[in-house]
Chains A and B, each alone.
Chain A
Amino acid sequence: MAEPMRIRATMAGDLADVKVLMNHPMETGTRKDAKTGQLVPAHYITEVNAAINGTKVLEAAMSGGISKNPYLGFKVKGPKAGDKIVVNWVDNTGDKNTAETTIG
């Protein structure tokens, strides 16, 4: 069900610059389907966690107010090139996804 998620993490000076792109419809539950006139059920990511080498660096909570196919960018001091970053999300239906990459 869950589509792939993309992570790009690169060192810029002493900061790891992390960019995450998730595939998700982020339906608020208040939008009506143009054809049927019915409300489209709420379907959005509620939580995103990121960890570098097992240390949590970001814990995000979100609503349907985040745009479709959510983008998150953040910067972390301390990691080195080659460190592993893992990102996972869970949505309001219990669906989840995880992805990892090494910092380049």
Chain B
Amino acid sequence: MLAAEWNKAAFEAKGMPDALKAIGATGAADSHDILIKAPDIAENGSVVPVEVTSGIAGTTSIAIIAEKNAFPLVGTFDLTGGSEGFISTRIKMGQTALVRAVVTAGGKSYTAAKEVKVTIGGCGG
């Protein structure tokens, strides 16, 4: 029923470079065609709304990374069957950090980031 294996190495990576590597996006090119909508300041890090819109033609996947979380990779979203280059969700952030989107289009990786200031971290413990 579920096609792809859950990428354990990527989700358990403890730093942004390792997470990028595990999703095959090392060296992703910076892109102005990726729009990240997230609050400038999040009072509650346990619920941070994040919306990613990719203007890159042929976008097939969007990954969301909270760079300073203990496990930075938050989610990957494969878009098929007519899905637009868009995903909206809510993430947890342990502290103020860049929220990074990695877009895959035509087999290449593109990235953009936006800083979110977190008043109260939301990863607990």
Pick from B84-92, B103-111, B112-120 the stretch touching chain A.
Answer: B84-92
Give min CB distance, B108 to chain A, whole Å.
20
Q: Answer whether A55 and B81 are a contact pair too, CB < 8 Å, given A28-B124, A30-B124.
A: yes
Give complex CA distance A32, B79 in Å: 35
Q: Binary interface profile of A, 60-89, with partner B (CB < 8 Å = 1, else 0)? A: 111111111011111111110000000010
How many inter-chain residue pairs (CB < 8 Å) link A and B?
Answer: 131
A residues neighboring B (CB under 8 Å): 15, 26, 28, 30-32, 39, 46-47, 49, 51-52, 55-68, 70-79, 88, 90
Q: Answer whether A66 and B1 are a contact pair too, CB < 8 Å, given A52-B81, A61-B7.
A: no
Residue among A58, A68, A77, A78 making CB contact with B77, cutoff 8 Å:
A58
Chain B residues with CB under 8 A of A75: 83-84, 86
Chain A residues with CB under 8 A of B16: none
